[in-house]
Chain A
Amino acid sequence: MNWEIVIGLEVHAQLLTKSKLFSGAAVGFGAEPNTQTTLVDLGMPGALPVFNKEALRMAVMFGCAVNADIGMTSVFARKNYFYPDLPKGYQTSQMDDPIVGKGHLDVVLEDGTVSRIGITRAHLEEDAGKSLHEDFQGMTGIDLNRSSTPLLEIVSEPDIRSAKEAVAYAKMIHSILTYLGICDGNMAEGSMRCDINLSLRPKGQTEYGTRTEIKNVNSFRFIEKAIYTEIERQADILEDGGRIVQETRLYDPDKNETRSMRSKEEANDYRYFPCPDLLPIVITQEYVNAIGNNLPELPTQKAARFIEQYQLSKYDAGVLSASRNMADYFETVTLKTNDAKLSANWIMGELSKLLNQNQLEIEHSPVAANAFGLLLIRIKDNTINGKTAKDVLQAMWNDEGSADDIIESKGLVQVTDTVAIEEMIQTVLDNNKAQVDQFKAAEHDKQKKMIGFFMGQVMKASQGKANPGIVTPILNKLLKD
């Protein structure tokens, strides 16, 4: 059976305001329980919400960045349900009149194709608190620090057709949010959470199948894996002639499967109505234009510029513009080295390898962009070769000093003196007469492979410091004689 996969993503992004959506309590991850709360976030009697203007600005920034209609009058609505981490017994959200309306963004897939994904809407709402289930002997502990943290809920149209596309979309949203500086995108800490709505339908059918919702997936890898297992689960059921139950599920990364969420099983009547403690938010076109005209350069714009300005490939431009921090790092390095290709290769290669090994994002790299640039300059000016540079980088990573400090203290300056190199090569050839004879007797093709042996010997003799670019022609010349 040829199934068409239909996916819509809902992303909840915690906005980087200093204070909460409706109170002046501080926001932030990791504080002691209930130390970042005030009567408003605790739902105490008589408490009233007052709306944070920065959250509004951030929401409008996002709307402008995804070419969306902006709601000139938007309304806060109460979503009523009972849960211990929801202190008022309702969540203040937006229902019929969200701040951001229809928009779209384009994602570039690995094979280079561009896909336009529609955005249905984005709205502001307050986050709930946290429940802690361990340590309390049959009781659950409630921490309301997170209660009333501003969230931007971004809802995509069901335009996504594959797991890869879903990940690309999620990454693009992540890019945009971090580029705008409105969310730190830290999925592990829950600053950005994804809900996946997935259904299958026979190819060619226009009617949607029954969908399930997989809630709170907090990494790109898990998004992909969750989608694959859910597709398989749904396909199995449908192919056996069964029906999909519309329900909420959770992805279990240990078992790599989704399971039904018990507490959300009963359909909830949220009894939405406009919150009477808040008034309609009315904004002007001037306000929107001021924001829209002053957006920082967005990921796709930056990637396009990188291609043009630095002659990078589409792929490289995409990788280097994925995050603003990465893009800024690249440009700082390139400014120093004046060599975009070299900078790109080394950042995407050796530096990324180190970052991944240590599970660090580029903004936490112990080697700053300027220092890194200085290292690359030493490669460019032939002070050291590529292999040595890797060692120097590792030493810089371990905080042993600047590139020049390390090169000097370890005596790593490359040998470029052609006379000395010629002497070294001649010595090697003299010491390996048998191999030289074999070389001269061999066919042209085989000779190419045998050069490696001599090159290795020369490098060994020079303790790796001979510049291969200089060795090669001299070696070839001497071997011809």
Chain B
Amino acid sequence: MSLDKQDVQKIAHLARLALTDEDTSQYQTSLSSVLALVEEMQSVDTDGIEPLSNPLEMTQRLREDVVTEVNRREDFLANAPSSSDGLFLVPQVID
């Protein structure tokens, strides 16, 4: 499965990664190699086989509805690149 430049740009946009032209070419090559590798999967018939997600096929445990956390805003804001008045700041979002 070979990818063209536009494919790479589309994927990069979905993944929010800024790519230079050079990057785009490089990824075109490396991604195409990986995709060629995984094409191997098509060689086996998996009709009727259920997908396996959790290897032990466990089911979800339920948590009691109680408040266990306290306000630790200062701790959690400490790593913020930009914050003010208890809020995380980002470049303005226009709806």
Residues of A participating in the B interface, judged by any CB pair closer than 8 Å = 17-19, 23-26, 32-39, 42, 44, 50-56, 82-84, 131-133, 136, 138-144, 250, 261-263, 269, 271, 274, 276, 278-282
12 CB-based A-B contacts, threshold 8 Å:
A24-B66, A32-B86, A34-B88, A36-B71, A44-B76, A51-B63, A132-B87, A142-B89, A143-B86, A143-B87, A271-B14, A281-B60
Given A24-B69, A54-B65, A276-B53: A282 touches B59 (CB 8 Å cut-off): yes
A263: contacting residue among B54, B76, B77, B93, CB under 8 A: B93
Given A136-B84, A138-B92, A141-B85: A24 touches B60 (CB 8 Å cut-off): no
Instruction: Tell whether, in the assembled complex, residue A279 and residue B60 are in contact, meaning their CB atoms are under 8 Å apart.
Output: yes
Interface secondary structure of B, over-half rule: loop
Q: Which of B72, B77, B85, B87 has the most CB of A within 10 A?
A: B87
CA distance A334 to B43 in the complex (A): 75
Interface secondary structure of A, over-half rule: loop
Given A262-B94, A263-B94, A281-B60: A142 touches B67 (CB 8 Å cut-off): no
Instruction: Tell whether, in the assembled complex, residue B93 and residue A140 are in contact, meaning their CB atoms are under 8 Å apart.
Output: yes
CA distance A427 to B77 in the complex (A): 83
A17: contacting residue among B65, B87, B91, CB under 8 A: B65
Residue of A with least CB distance to B53: A274
A53: contacting residue among B63, B67, B71, CB under 8 A: B63
Cβ-based interface call for B22 (8 A): no
Instruction: Tell whether, in the assembled complex, residue A34 and residue B63 are in contact, meaning their CB atoms are under 8 Å apart.
Output: no
A25: contacting residue among B53, B69, B93, CB under 8 A: B69
Q: Add 11 more A-B contacts to A42-B76, A51-B63 (CB < 8 A).
A: A26-B69, A51-B61, A133-B92, A136-B87, A138-B92, A142-B89, A144-B88, A263-B94, A271-B14, A279-B58, A281-B60
Instruction: Tell whether, in the assembled complex, residue A26 and residue B85 are in contact, meaning their CB atoms are under 8 Å apart.
Output: no
- Contacts of A25 on B, CB cut-off 8 Å? 67, 69
Cβ-based interface call for B82 (8 A): yes
Q: Which of A37, A53, A141 has the most CB of B within 10 A?
A: A141
Cβ-based interface call for B95 (8 A): yes
B61: contacting residue among A24, A50, A82, CB under 8 A: A50
CA distance A18 to B69 in the complex (A): 11
- Contacts of A39 on B, CB cut-off 8 Å? 76
- Contacts of B84 on A, CB cut-off 8 Å? 136, 139, 141
Given A84-B88, A139-B90, A269-B14: A34 touches B60 (CB 8 Å cut-off): no
Given A131-B93, A262-B95, A279-B54: A33 touches B69 (CB 8 Å cut-off): no
